[in-house]
Amino acid sequence: MKNKFDIQLLNQKLPRGEGHIAGYGWLLKTYSLAAPLPKKITCIGEKHKVYETEFCKVYTPRHRPEDTFVGHLTFALKYEGVNLTILKALFSIISGVELENWIKREPVGKYSRRAWFLYEWLMGKELKVSPATTGNFVNVLNTDLQYGAISRPSRRHRVNNNLPGVPDFCPLIWKTNGLERFRDLHLDRLAQKQIDLVPLDIRNRAAAFLLLKDSRASFSIEGETLLKTRGERWGRAVAQAGIIPFSLEELVRLQSLIIEDKRFISLGLRTDEGFIGAHETETGIPLPDHISAHWEDLPRLLEGMIQTYDILKKSNFDPVLGAALISFGFVFIHPFVDGNGRIHRYLMHQVLADFGFSPKGIVFPISAVILNRLEAYRNVLEAHSKPRLEFIEWEPTPKGNVEILNKTLDLYRYFDATPVAEFLYECIEETIETTLPTEIQYLKHYDQFKQKVHKRFQMPDSLIDLLMRFLQQNKGTLSKRAREKEFKALSLGECEELEKIYASVFGKKR
């Protein structure tokens, strides 16, 4: 089982003719670090311009750092941002003396002080260096490159800790043109504006309809049929998202709502390993697509997640980005035997509501959009999990499970959440710009249709609902079966009149 740096994979990603790896790539290669490659590696090219390829960002010869630990770490912090997974792997194998000497040579250097802080923050131990007494405070995260949280000053290092998390859980998101475009749309304001224009009765019905739509879709993603009582119970839970404080107890309560038959599943945190995937038909050996966090690490990871949640909330962190960090972090950890996927999607609503993004009383049917984008959803999950399998040593157990043989904690508490943040923003954009107005417009049209039918026929609401379903299913016309059974009391001319009413309101099938 591989758990070291894959130099062959790195070479495959380099542009042809550009062979001078820099920054994190150099550190990974030189120290054979057991950490996944960053989304893009950096290298030094021959041309005097900076450009990007699919897997690499190429800098000019004048950017080339000295081929030393200090030279490439400085380059990485300056141009690539903070990569906690790689830094933790690096700090775990180098001698602290190298860092101490750098700090003593450059006591006011902004990169030496940032590296100093990150070492002590990640490793949980102090270097043999006296506290800094001079130099302006600098941010740990460069907010031109990554999204930071509220600053918490560290006087020992004279830095502002603006990391969006704590040592036990701190995924990071890099700034991209796509994410900046989404943030500029102010989708929360657009959603509130749409809701404010809707009469109260339609708003309430829309809220109930959207809630049901999301609940059904969340169970469908898991391949399960949502029974009425189960759906109502889960819907009530989702409707309370953002009201009940985020805690481990609340997560366990949510799991108990999902799992109806508790005879075969133990509620609460796993006490065994877990994986997602299949088994070999003949041998029963696991074929993992994703290996969950080691069960003994779960309390630590979830406590870290709860602390990170509090930091994000106090920071007025972008709600969608916060929802990506918390919800996808949860599903990657996979702390329960069952129910993880639905709680993962619930946590999207939890953060959006608690951070003030969602209009009061409205649950965006994000799961319905994800259901329509299921392949993309699975791809973004796999893009995270697949590279990490290379760094997990495991062997099969007699019961068809996996046994993790090495330490994997850092793979779950530090990761690049940029791809999942972009995916979630795409889903929320579609929800607000398309799904929400479509559902509101449908309810308005439905009311118009019902009023026109009532004006011409003395028909109960339940029968009008049935009529609507038949017309929708058959593209605006009543089927032969409907005319001969449910609506046999109507003449041919009356059936055609109802079809004209439907067409005048809806124009075509919804």
pLDDT in tens, 323-370: 999 999 999 999 999 999 999 999 999 999 999 999 998 999 999 999
CA distances in angstroms from 254 to 243, 263, 272, 356, listed in the order given: 14, 17, 20, 22
- The pLDDT score that the predictor gives to residue 354 is 96
With CA atoms as reference, report the closest residue to 428 among 373, 361, 353, 366: 366
- The pLDDT score that the predictor gives to residue 27 is 96
- pLDDT at residue 18 above 70? no
- The pLDDT score that the predictor gives to residue 222 is 87
User: Would residue 238 count as lying in a domain?
Assistant: yes
Q: What is the mean pLDDT of the chain?
A: 91
User: Would residue 168 count as lying in a domain?
Assistant: no
Judge if 241 and 197 occupy the same domain: yes
User: Would residue 210 count as lying in a domain?
Assistant: yes
Judge if 48 and 159 occupy the same domain: no
With CA atoms as reference, report the closest residue to 499 among 473, 480, 477: 477
Judge if 2 and 72 occupy the same domain: yes
Judge if 256 and 383 occupy the same domain: yes
- The pLDDT score that the predictor gives to residue 226 is 65
User: Would residue 443 count as lying in a domain?
Assistant: no
Judge if 343 and 412 occupy the same domain: yes
For the chain, counts of helices (H) and of strands (E): 22, 11
Judge if 78 and 155 occupy the same domain: no
Judge if 280 and 263 occupy the same domain: yes
User: Would residue 425 count as lying in a domain?
Assistant: yes
* Own/partner long-range contacts of 255-261 (Cβ < 8 Å, ≥24 apart): 255/336, 255/338, 255/339, 255/343, 257/233, 258/234, 258/338, 258/339, 258/342, 258/343, 259/338, 259/339, 260/230
- The pLDDT score that the predictor gives to residue 262 is 76
Among residues 89, 113, 136, the one where a domain terminates is 89
- pLDDT at residue 69 above 80? yes
Judge if 244 and 194 occupy the same domain: yes
Residues whose CB falls within 8 Å of the CB of residue 145, separated by 6 or more in sequence, listed in order? 80, 81, 174, 175
- The pLDDT score that the predictor gives to residue 208 is 86
Question: What mean pLDDT do residues 375-382 have?
Answer: 96
- Beta bridge partners of residue 279, listed in sequence order: 286
At residue 176 the predicted structure's pLDDT band, cuts being 50, 70 and 90, is very high
pTM over the 0.95 mark: no
At residue 509 the predicted structure's pLDDT band, cuts being 50, 70 and 90, is very low
Judge if 9 and 29 occupy the same domain: yes
pLDDT in tens, 380-435: 999 999 999 999 999 999 999 999 999 999 999 999 999 999 999 999 999 999 99
User: Would residue 444 count as lying in a domain?
Assistant: no
Judge if 53 and 22 occupy the same domain: yes
Share of the chain above pLDDT 70, in %: 95
User: Would residue 448 count as lying in a domain?
Assistant: no
pLDDT in tens, 425-463: 999 999 999 999 998 998 899 999 999 998 888 889 889
- The pLDDT score that the predictor gives to residue 510 is 41
pLDDT in tens, 77-91: 999 999 999 999 999
Judge if 195 and 325 occupy the same domain: yes
Q: Which domain holds residue 28?
A: 1-89
Among residues 379, 406, 436, the one where a domain terminates is 436
- pLDDT at residue 206 above 50? yes
Judge if 278 and 402 occupy the same domain: yes
> Domain count of the chain?
4
